[in-house]
Structure 1
Amino acid sequence: MRHNILNEFLLQPFALEAAKKEANRLPAAELVQSIMEIKPHKRVLAFRLLEKQKAIAVFEYLRPEQQADLIRAMETPEVMSLLEALDPGDRVRLFEELPAKITKRLLANLSPQAREGVNLLLGYPERSAGRLMSLRYLAVRDSVTVQSLLAIVRQSELHDNELTLVFVVDADRYYRGFVRTVRLVKSSPEETISHLLEGTNIAIRASDRDLQAVQLLKDNDLPAIPVVDNEGRLIGDITFDDVIDLVEEEATDAALAQGGVGNLLRRDKVWSERLIRGSSWYAIQLRILFLIITLIGGMLVGGVIERFEEVLEAVSAAAVFIPLVMDMGGNVGTQSTTVFARGIAWNHINVNRFLPYLLRELQIGASMGAILGLVAGIIAYFWQGLPNGIPQLGTAVAISLFCVIALGAVLGAILPWIMLKLGFDHAPGADPFITTIKDFTGLWIYFTLVGWLVGID
């Protein structure tokens, strides 16, 4: 593998020249993977093999937490050359990963222009559009002609993905719309761009939530959207690439929390690096709370089975369907919590007008319960009911599945909503409660029906 050459250099100094030549020959995207496969305390040595432009390109590919680890191991002069080359938004995301003491020192060493950009973004609240926006964009007056604007685009130092849209402002920098660069090529050179304007009402305020930018980009199918101040002046933009990172981060956090690595009392950001490579005690503290809830629930369910021991002894075939009754409700509950989490993230669910959504989930759960209960009841009737002389078993399975599936759907919707309204983290906390409630209730209904239909007191 190619990254072995970098490892060889770290183990054998005489391989320095070969490793340096190979490293600078590789594309930046491949180098990132190679460097990250090296032990953390040796990565900076491999990074120093790279020429300046290659090092900058590789550094931009790294995630903010990876950049922060590398920064800590570097000397100040080489750090500053990397920081000066970063986009202001990327600098801010990096500084958020670093201790305040290091951030303060690095800020003091930045050039005045770079420091101004960072301070501007840091002035906006976390999770706001202003904190997410980029200061690298192209804006022109609406009196510019197509020919003049094409010349400006050709001379611009912005990257290609930063020039898909050109924003248009008036003399006081109030936002007026945007022009797609592809339309410039198709338009008459003498035409003024005021005739090509689009998106005159598409903009987001810097004070708005960052997830609103995600929704705006999605709804309008745009590569970027303008960011304006409270008076409507253009101050930045948010690109598709910016929100992709945000959506990926949100999805990762939600997935980790769903797996039980969140914290019930506060919404902490959980980093996979620390969970995988940190102390075992840290992971235990994060995950054990909700596993204890599941443990208690398992004991309660065991009590239900013990309570109906006589039913099981008299109708041993009933034990065959215990996993079915327990698992189906749990799966439906997990589906509902996942739908709820995604609906909240994309603003499809209004927590203040929750009743219509809850009734919809009840309808869906009842419909699925009726269909699956009927199918399972027929199978139970012919599989275990008739051969064992207890045809009533099919009815018990059918009714139990209907109840537990409908209950799972309702619990999967209402429990996360209750936890959210109370200010708790619903992602890791809802499932253990759902599992306990639906298992306890589902088995109680199942055994009660079996005992009643078969005639066991």
Structure 2
Amino acid sequence: MSDNITINKQDSRHELRELLNSQLRLMLDANNLEGAKSLLLPVQPVDIAEAIGDLPETQKLIAFRLLNKTEAIDVYEHLDYNSQQSLIQEFKRQEVLDIVDKMSPDDRAKLFDELPAAVVSRILEQLSPEERQATNLLLGYGEDTAGRMMTPEYIALKENLTVGQTLEKIRSEARASELIYYMYVTDASRHLLGIVSLRDLVVSSPDDTLDKVLTKEIVYVNTDMDQEEVARLIQRYDFLAVPVVDKELRLVGIVTVDDVIDIIEKEATEDIYALGAVQSDGDNSYFKTNLFVVARRRVVWLLVLLLTNTVTGGIIGAQEDILARVTVLAAFIPLLIGTGGNIGTQSSTVVIRGLSTDKVNDYGPKKIIFREAIAGLILGLILGLLATVWAYFLPQTNQDLMVCITVGFSLVAIAVLASVAGSALPFLFRSLGLDPALMSAPFITTAVDVLGVLIYFSIARVLLPF
């Protein structure tokens, strides 16, 4: 068995991860530490982090200590928070200083958000004064804001510098900055005056001063701006980074595109979980969460739906007279409320996604709801016609045309109801300050089940002779 893994174009990311993890486990089980160390040498830090994260708890620390100091810092930043927490509990004091002290301030702040307060206090005491100050600055801002996610590691310049002097300054400070493609020009009070790109410096004369090169039309964010808005802004303008200013418009940090990618993935994951009425666990993997915790989080909405089904059952039970005369009506109840639930979920999904991306703001709630109602009517007419024809040829109906028409009309009405509910409820919950994704799914199911059954039997009482 080879001790090295070479990444080539034919290896998929999943195959590489599985191969690396399996070989790493075998070597650690055999106590072949030198072989495990050589196995990790040609691998990227993010892939090493995934492999270590998949190891049993007893092997994580052993594998991590095989890395050299520089590589260990990069790998630690890519580990999931569960692995970071378990490792930091085992670190000795010097290991904390070697790794956590060298992390970028924004990554360190994210880690501290997940650690117990007592552990954070202990680590802060061990950090260097400069890193402690930088970390406390970020932790002082609200969660999920630009101030909390920014990094104070950037290159600030004065406008009287020449291009040649600026390039020298970049060379001396590049290793201490997270990004060197943009530089920020400030006055003596750190007020943001403009931005200079590395491209602008390269194509300019070395004797030009920065006031002739800088761009004064600045796009910036405030420290209290929500991280989702920051992500959308960077995505909109295709920035690599955006400057962050305080209330006095003083430059305090930058948000880089790699942080934005993490935010977009995190928010999308939260929305997807919420659409299924499942609470997400922040940055921790759902599949690594304790099963009892998973059950506790999911049972709440399931109990709500259980109560809803009880109400629906009560409504059906109250229709004994009509069901006793036309028993075949009961056979179509699952079809009607199931179809309505699917249509409502489709409408709510597109509206919730539109709310998340601000795509619906140009239209307004009324236009969106009306549009979805028309879509529901079209879907209802198509499905209703098919259901009518299909029901006519079922043995249960005995080719009773009025029963078939009742099913078709009910499907049209329920489709419109589901589309309106699915598109209106996210707007309602957002106006109430609630999460539309988390709240909409159970309530759509409730509305479609209860009102759908009522509509069905109401139409049946009108159309069917008794």
1:139 is displaced (CA, Å) by: 2.1
Output the amino acid matched with 2:28. Answer: L
Q: How far, CA to CA, are the matches of 1:410 and 1:47 in structure 2?
A: 54
Q: 1:221 to 1:270 in 2, by over 3 A?
A: closer
Aligned partner of residue 227 in structure 1, secondary structure: strand
Counterpart in the other structure of 2:455: 445
The answer as to whether partners of 2:426 and 2:437 remain within 8 angstroms in 1 is yes
Q: 1:78 to 1:238 in 2, by over 3 A?
A: same
Q: How far, CA to CA, are the matches of 1:160 and 1:76 in structure 2?
A: 26
1:204 is displaced (CA, Å) by: 1.3
Counterpart in the other structure of 1:80: 97
Aligned partner of residue 260 in structure 1, secondary structure: coil
Q: How far, CA to CA, are the matches of 1:53 and 1:203 in structure 2?
A: 33
Counterpart in the other structure of 1:49: 66
Counterpart in the other structure of 2:135: 118
2:238 is aligned with 1:221 = yes
The answer as to whether partners of 1:179 and 1:196 remain within 8 angstroms in 2 is yes
Output the amino acid matched with 1:403. Answer: A
Counterpart in the other structure of 1:373: 380
The answer as to whether partners of 2:195 and 2:218 remain within 8 angstroms in 1 is no
Output the amino acid matched with 2:464. Answer: V
2:145 is aligned with 1:135 = no
Counterpart in the other structure of 1:403: 413
How high is the TM-score relative to the length of structure 1? 0.86
Find 2:305's aligned residue among 286, 294, 297: 294
2:44 is aligned with 1:32 = no
The answer as to whether partners of 1:36 and 1:43 remain within 8 angstroms in 2 is yes
Aligned partner of residue 178 in structure 1, secondary structure: strand
Counterpart in the other structure of 2:4: none
The total of aligned residue pairs comes to 445
2:75 is aligned with 1:58 = yes
1:246 is displaced (CA, Å) by: 1.8
Q: How far, CA to CA, are the matches of 1:18 and 1:310 in structure 2?
A: 78
Sequence identity (%): 34
Output the amino acid matched with 1:369. Answer: G
Output the amino acid matched with 1:4. Answer: S
Q: How far, CA to CA, are the matches of 2:278 and 2:197 in structure 1?
A: 44
The answer as to whether partners of 1:164 and 1:180 remain within 8 angstroms in 2 is yes
Q: How far, CA to CA, are the matches of 1:323 and 1:402 in structure 2?
A: 15
Counterpart in the other structure of 2:222: 205
RMSD (Å) for aligned C-alpha atoms:
3.0
1:88 is displaced (CA, Å) by: 0.8
The answer as to whether partners of 2:372 and 2:423 remain within 8 angstroms in 1 is no
Output the amino acid matched with 2:453. Answer: L
Gaps of 5+ in 2: 1-18
Q: 1:439 to 1:357 in 2, by over 3 A?
A: farther
Output the amino acid matched with 1:285. Answer: R
Output the amino acid matched with 2:202. Answer: V
Output the amino acid matched with 1:326. Answer: I
1:231 is displaced (CA, Å) by: 1.4
1:418 is displaced (CA, Å) by: 4.5
The answer as to whether partners of 1:358 and 1:410 remain within 8 angstroms in 2 is no
Aligned partner of residue 41 in structure 2, secondary structure: helix
1:125 is displaced (CA, Å) by: 2.1
The superposition leaves residues 157-191 of structure 1 with CA deviations (integer Å, 9 ceiling, x where unpaired) of 34897122222223432111212222333344444
1:293 is displaced (CA, Å) by: 1.3
1:24 is displaced (CA, Å) by: 2.8
Q: How far, CA to CA, are the matches of 2:284 and 2:226 in structure 1?
A: 25
Q: 1:331 to 1:382 in 2, by over 3 A?
A: closer
Report 1:141-290 matches (<5 A): 141-158=158-175, 162-198=179-215, 200-262=217-279, 269=281, 272-273=284-285, 276-280=288-292, 282-290=293-301
Q: 1:29 to 1:270 in 2, by over 3 A?
A: closer
Counterpart in the other structure of 1:265: none
Q: 1:395 to 1:143 in 2, by over 3 A?
A: farther
1:271 is displaced (CA, Å) by: 6.2
Q: How far, CA to CA, are the matches of 1:274 and 1:363 in structure 2?
A: 37
1:56 is displaced (CA, Å) by: 1.5
Find 1:303's aligned residue among 314, 320, 343: 314
Q: 1:142 to 1:377 in 2, by over 3 A?
A: same
* Larger displacement relative to structure 2 (407-416 or 75-84): 407-416
1:414 is displaced (CA, Å) by: 4.0
Q: How far, CA to CA, are the matches of 1:275 and 1:147 in structure 2?
A: 53
Counterpart in the other structure of 1:23: 40
1:110 is displaced (CA, Å) by: 0.7
How high is the TM-score relative to the length of structure 2? 0.85
2:4 is aligned with 1:4 = no
Counterpart in the other structure of 1:325: 336
The answer as to whether partners of 2:425 and 2:440 remain within 8 angstroms in 1 is yes
The superposition leaves residues 31-75 of structure 1 with CA deviations (integer Å, 9 ceiling, x where unpaired) of 122212211232011111111122112112123443222211221
1:343 is displaced (CA, Å) by: 4.3
1:313 is displaced (CA, Å) by: 6.3
Counterpart in the other structure of 2:112: 95
The answer as to whether partners of 1:365 and 1:407 remain within 8 angstroms in 2 is no
Aligned partner of residue 276 in structure 2, secondary structure: helix
Please list every run of at least 4 consecutive aligned residues from structure 1 whose deviation after the TM superposition is greater than 6 angstroms.
none
1:146 is displaced (CA, Å) by: 3.4
Q: How far, CA to CA, are the matches of 1:330 and 1:159 in structure 2?
A: 55
Output the amino acid matched with 1:7. Answer: R
The superposition leaves residues 68-123 of structure 1 with CA deviations (integer Å, 9 ceiling, x where unpaired) of 22211221211210012100111111111111111111111111111111111122
Q: How far, CA to CA, are the matches of 2:111 and 2:160 in structure 1?
A: 39
Q: 1:439 to 1:361 in 2, by over 3 A?
A: farther
The answer as to whether partners of 2:266 and 2:282 remain within 8 angstroms in 1 is no
Aligned partner of residue 435 in structure 1, secondary structure: helix
Q: How far, CA to CA, are the matches of 1:87 and 1:10 in structure 2?
A: 30
Counterpart in the other structure of 1:338: 349
The answer as to whether partners of 1:340 and 1:349 remain within 8 angstroms in 2 is yes
Q: 1:165 to 1:399 in 2, by over 3 A?
A: farther
The answer as to whether partners of 2:365 and 2:427 remain within 8 angstroms in 1 is no
* Larger displacement relative to structure 2 (155-164 or 237-246): 155-164
The answer as to whether partners of 1:227 and 1:236 remain within 8 angstroms in 2 is yes
